[in-house]
Structure 1
Amino acid sequence: MLWAVYVQNLDPLGNRLLSTVVAGLPVLVLFYLLVGRRWLAPWAGAAGAITAVLLAWLAYDMPLAMASWAFVHGMTFGLLPIGWTVFAAMLLYNTTLISGQFSIIRRSIGGLSGDARVQAVLIGFCFGAFMEGAAGAGSPVAICGAMLVGLGVPPFQAAVICLIANTSPVCFGGLGVPILTLSSVTGLSGDTISIMCGHQLPILSCLIPLYMVKTMCTWRETLAIWPALAVGGGSFALAQFFFATAHAYGLPPIWPLTDICGAILSMACLAAFLKFVWKPRQEWRFPQEQVGAGQTAEPVSPADPNVVQAEEQVSEWLANGQGLAQRFEPLQTRQVLRAWMPWGLMALFLILSGIARQMEKQGPLDLGVVPSYWEVPVPTLHKRVERAERLVPPDAVGDERKEAALFKITWLTAPGTPVFCAALLSMVLLRLSPAQVLAVFRKTIYQMRIPIPTIACMLGLSYVTKYAGMDATLGVAFAETGVLYPFFAAMLGWLGVFLTGTDAGSNALFGSLQKITATEVWNTHGSTALRHLSLEQAQTLICTANSTGGVMGKMIDAQSICVATAGTNQVGREADIFKAVIWHSVLLACVVGLMTAVQAFLWPFTLMVPK
Structure 2
Amino acid sequence: MLSLTWSQNFSPVMDSLYGSAIVALIPILFFFWALAIKRMKGHTAGLLTLLVAIIIAVFLWKMPASKAVMSATQGGVYGIIPIGWIIITSVFLYKLTVKTGQFDIIRSSVLSITEDRRLQALLVAFSFGAFLEGAAGFGAPVAISAALLVGLGFNPLYAAGLCLIANTAPVAFGAIGIPITAMEGPTGIPALEISKMVGRQLPFISVFIPFYLVMIMVGWKRTLEVLPAIMVSGISFAAVQYLSSNFLGPELPDVLSALVSLFALAIFLKFWKPKTIYRFKHENEAAATMEKQNESYTGAQIFKAWSPFLVLTMMISLWGIPKIKLALAGHYEGGNAILKLINSVGHSITFTPEVPFLNNLILNSSGEPISALYKIELLAAAGTAIMIAALITKFIVRISFKDWAKTFFETLNELKFPLLTIISVVAFAYVLNAAGMTTTLGMTLAKTGSFFPFFSPFLGWLGVFITGSDTSANVLFATLQQVTANGIGMEPVLALAANSSGGVTGKMISPQSIAVACAAVGLAGRESELLRFTLKHSFFLLLLVAIITTLQNGILSWMIP
Counterpart secondary structure, 1:357: helix
- Return the match for 1:283 from 275, 278, 303: 275
* Structure 1 counterpart of 2:492: 533
1:137 CA drift (Å): 5.6
How far apart, in 1, do the equivalents of 2:91 and 2:516 lie? 18
Change (3 A) 1:435 1:243: farther
In 1, the alpha carbon distance for the partners of 2:22 and 2:106 equals 51
Written as runs of structure 1 = structure 2, the 5 A alignment for 1:18-167 is 18-113=19-114, 118=119, 121-122=122-123, 125-126=126-127, 144=149, 147=152, 163=161, 166-167=164-165
C-alpha offsets along residues 392-447 of structure 1, whole Å, 9 cap, x if unaligned? 3xxxxxxx722111222222222112221111111122211234313420332134
Aligned to 1:346: 312
For 1:590, give the aligned amino acid: L
Instruction: Name the TM-score, length of structure 1 as normaliser.
Output: 0.70
Residue 592 of structure 1 pairs with residue 552 of structure 2: no
The partner residue of 1:332 within 280, 298, 314 is: 298
Offset at residue 526 of structure 1 (A): 0.7
**SS where residue 375 of structure 2 aligns?**
strand
Could you tell me how far apart the structure 2 residues matched to 1:561 and 1:376 are?
30
Shift of 1:43: 2.0
Out of 434, 438, 442, the residue aligned to residue 471 of structure 1 is 438
Is 2:377 the partner of 1:377?
no
Cα 1:123–1:382 change in 2 (3 A) is closer
Contact 1:506–1:547 (Cα < 8 Å) also in 2:
no
The alpha carbon displacement at 1:494 in A equals 6.0
Change (3 A) 1:181 1:139: same
The aligned residue for residue 5 of structure 1 is 5
Q: CA deviation at 1:523?
A: 2.8
CA distance, structure 2, for counterparts of residue 422 and residue 243 of structure 1: 29
Provide Cα deviations, 1:83-131, integer angstroms capped at 9, x if missing partner: 2222222222222222222222221112334667655644664467679
Q: How does 1:290-301 map to 2 (within 5 A)?
A: 292=281
Hey, what's the Cα distance between the residues in 2 that align with 1:84 and 1:103?
Answer: 26
- 1:61 match: secondary structure: coil
Matches within 5 A, 1:242-261: 248=249, 258=254
1:541-572 deviation per Cα after TM superposition (whole angstroms, max 9, x unaligned): 34423531224658xx98899999999xxx9x
RMSD: 4.9
Could you tell me which residue of structure 2 aligns to residue 271 of structure 1?
A: 266
2:337 aligned residue: none
- Where structure 2 has 5 or more consecutive residues not aligned to the other structure, the ranges are 335-339
In 2, Cα distance between equivalents of 1:435 and 1:339? 21
State how far apart, in whole Å, the 2-side matches of 1:341 and 1:523 are.
49
Which of the numbers 544, 548, 554 marks the counterpart of 2:504? 548
Give the aligned partner of residue 412 of structure 2. Answer: 445
Provide, for residues 234-287 of structure 1, a one-character-per-residue CA deviation record: whole Å limited to 9, x for no partner: 3444666789899838xxx678xx57x865654443222232xx324x71356x
Question: 1:176-195, aligned counterparts within 5 Å?
Answer: none
Percent identity over the alignment is 27
Closer/same/farther in 2, CA of residues 417 and 159 from structure 1, 3 Å limit? closer
Residue 229 of structure 1, CA deviation: 2.5
Structure 2 CA distance for partners of 1:350 and 1:183, relative to 1, 3 Å: same
| Distance in 1 separating the partners of 2:81 and 2:183 | 14
Aligned to 1:14: 14
The residue type paired with residue 85 of structure 2 is: W
**Residues 486-497 of structure 1 correspond to what in structure 2 (within 5 A)?**
486-488=453-455, 490-491=457-458
Distance 1:141 1:369, change over 3 A: closer
From the two aligned structures, give the one with the greater helix fraction.
Answer: 2
| Worse overlay, 231-240 or 25-34 | 231-240
Cα separation, partners in 2 of 1:233 and 1:23, compared to 1, 3 Å: closer
Structure 1: runs of 5 or more not aligned:
150-154, 296-321, 393-399, 497-502
Number of residue pairs the alignment of both structures matches: 530
Q: Which amino acid aligns with 1:371?
A: H
